[in-house]
Chain A
Amino acid sequence: MNFWVIQGLNGLAFGSLLFILASGFSLIFGLMRIVNLSHGAYFMLGAYVGLSAIDAGVSFWVAILIGGLAISVLGAIIERFILRRLSGQPLAQVLVTLGIAFIIADACVWIWTGDPRPVPMPRELAGAFRVQQLAFPIYRLFVIGVAFTLAATLWFLLERSRLGAMIRAGVDDLSMARAMGIRTSLLFPVVFCLGSALAGAGGVLAGPILSVYPGLDTDMLPLALVVVILGGIGSLLGAFIGSLIIGFIYSYGQALFPDLAYVILFLPMVLVLTLRPTGLFGRQAI
């Protein structure tokens, strides 16, 4: 019984990390129709930046902010000077984001070397939460809480706020949104920065669980892709449900069928793409 509960909680924690990563990816694709293949690299770079900040003496909480902010600035620069110039050329945009991912990965090895680095956990969240014979790391419970809070915040932002209404208008019909006086050229960097910041902050947050190492980007990006394809590209609810599903599959799959972990992980994606190409909560392309 304990095995199932612990693996379930592990799955929830990993799914939460995936949501923090995939929500930004989904947000960027939803509005800008850019498959940002450098998103995994943003996640890794955020983790490294956060680690350096902690090494420099700042607290873990400030390191999350610094990681998010640094990647947000990087995202703003990439959006303004590279992606905007390739507007309307989806293939070029995908390729350039792939190139940026390679550049970031190499730069990380150059700056932080190829050794895996653990990110120290904040002292106040160290230890385990115990209920009878069950013990589960408090930090992982915290990550779950962050993901649910983030989901609620993003939901409010997108579904209820004026800004969200503008973003959804831009997603539905760009030219109509412009004709209504919405400055879509401002929406793009806002969304890209927000998505990048989520990846960067998510990287720092994931550090105490996953550590930081060369290849973290290529480990996480396919998972984020599976999440958004499963949940429905551009759908926040889809990213949330998709993350939890993949988190559970990953956790139980690794524990029960370690040799088939990737089969179990990617099989749902293949099935969804075949049977329901828009994903569980996705909409038809506009």
Chain B
Amino acid sequence: MTVPALEVTGLHRFFGGLPAVCDVSMRVPAGERRLLLGPNGAGKTTLFNLVAGDFPPSRGEIRIFGENVTRKTADQRTHLGMARTYQIITLFAKNTLLHNVVMSLMGLLRLRFNPLSDIRRQKTLWDEARATLALVGLEHLADRTVADTSYGEKRRLEIAMALAQKPKLLLLDEPLAGLSADERRDIQRLLQTIPREVTIIMIEHDMDVALAFADVITVMQRGQIVVEGNRADVVADPKTREVYLGH
């Protein structure tokens, strides 16, 4: 049996006495496109944050490519091949798009802490960053400050930064949220270009895009997984209807 990209077992996270994630177990094989669905407050982003290492679980275990990362920090998980985007766009707003991607590339370099190394002279780094921006169609805006770009461009930049890390496991938290129809199509096309060997777990509310994208869907409610299966099974499951329509 091949090692799954992500395996969580009996995961709990309480905030105060309130369970945000409750006994979640999930196995995502390498290369799979997994969709996390659920109403607001279902615990999807909390689950992402637990997997990414933003905060530790109250109980349970997280494995990335077979390695137990439950007690590892976010940066250590990144070095294992995990990258993510955020529900609320998180970028270095005062810097240029190019600098943001350079930072993403630099985080994984062995000599990243070298105090004597002038980053402006790392030509290969800047060339690679430009190439990554070209992948998401933002090369022409490379020298623009992030604060001066549109919302859709910021979303694409976030994905570019995640891709720059050459992830094996990519967590996308509502990458289409707040985008126009044209921008959605652009992002959708962009997601389809990501190599199949990259495992993608995505939270998304746009059902048309999300269902077309996913191999397997996990539906969450009140911090728990209520339905899991392929598209047809999940859509047909009465629990899915109950989660979304309340009956």
Q: Which of A175, A179, A184 is within 8 Å of B83, CB to CB?
A: A179
Contact code string A69-105 (vs B, CB < 8 Å = 1, else 0): 0000000000000000000000000000000000000
* Chain B residue total in the interface (Cβ 8 A): 38
Contact code string A85-129 (vs B, CB < 8 Å = 1, else 0): 000000000000000000000000000000000000000000000
Whether A161 contacts B78 by the Cβ 8 Å rule is: no
Choose the segment among B4-12, B109-117, B193-201, B219-227 that binds chain A (4+ C-beta atoms closer than 8 Å): B109-117
* B103 sits at the interface (CB 8 A): yes
Q: Which of B74, B106, B112, B119 is within 8 Å of A179, CB to CB?
A: B74
Whether A162 contacts B111 by the Cβ 8 Å rule is: yes
Q: How far is the CB of B199 from chain A (nearest CB, A)?
A: 17
Task: Note all chain A residues with C-beta closer than 8 A to B161.
Answer: 180
Whether B90 contacts A176 by the Cβ 8 Å rule is: yes
Whether A178 contacts B113 by the Cβ 8 Å rule is: no
Whether A180 contacts B119 by the Cβ 8 Å rule is: no
Chain A's interface size range is 20 to 34
Q: Is the interface of A mostly helix, strand, loop or mixed?
A: helix
CA A101 to CA B27, docked complex, whole Å: 52
For window 71-110 of B, CB contacts with A under 8 Å fall at 73-76, 78-79, 83-84, 86, 90-95, 102-104, 106-109
CA A146 to CA B78, docked complex, whole Å: 40
CA A176 to CA B75, docked complex, whole Å: 10
Q: A179-B83, A180-B78, A181-B79 are in contact. Are A166 and B90 (CB under 8 A)?
A: no
Whether B119 contacts A182 by the Cβ 8 Å rule is: no
CA A6 to CA B138, docked complex, whole Å: 56
Q: A175-B54, A179-B52, A183-B73 are in contact. Are A162 and B114 (CB under 8 A)?
A: yes
Whether B75 contacts A184 by the Cβ 8 Å rule is: yes
* A185 sits at the interface (CB 8 A): yes
Whether A162 contacts B92 by the Cβ 8 Å rule is: no
* B120 sits at the interface (CB 8 A): yes
Whether B74 contacts A165 by the Cβ 8 Å rule is: no
Q: Which of B78, B94, B122 is within 8 Å of A178, CB to CB?
A: B78
Task: Note all chain B residues with C-beta closer than 8 A to A190.
Answer: 113
Whether B90 contacts A162 by the Cβ 8 Å rule is: no
Whether B119 contacts A165 by the Cβ 8 Å rule is: yes
Task: Note all chain B residues with C-beta closer than 8 A to A162.
Answer: 106, 109, 111-115, 117, 119, 122
* A157 sits at the interface (CB 8 A): yes
CA A175 to CA B161, docked complex, whole Å: 14
* B118 sits at the interface (CB 8 A): yes
Q: Can you list 17 A-B pairs with a CB-CB distance of less than 8 A?
A: A160-B118, A161-B115, A162-B106, A162-B109, A162-B114, A163-B114, A165-B102, A169-B92, A172-B94, A176-B86, A178-B75, A180-B104, A180-B108, A182-B75, A182-B107, A182-B112, A186-B113
Besides the known contacts A162-B114, A176-B91, 13 further A-B residue pairs in the complex with CB atoms under 8 A apart? A161-B116, A161-B119, A162-B113, A163-B114, A164-B115, A165-B103, A173-B91, A181-B79, A181-B107, A182-B107, A184-B75, A185-B73, A283-B94
B residues contacting A by CB (< 8 A) are 52-54, 73-76, 78-79, 83-84, 86, 90-95, 102-104, 106-109, 111-120, 122, 161, 165
A residues contacting B by CB (< 8 A) are 156-157, 160-166, 169, 172-173, 175-186, 190, 283
Q: Closest 9 A-B residue pairs measured CB to CB? A: A181-B107, A180-B107, A178-B74, A181-B78, A163-B115, A183-B75, A176-B90, A162-B117, A181-B108
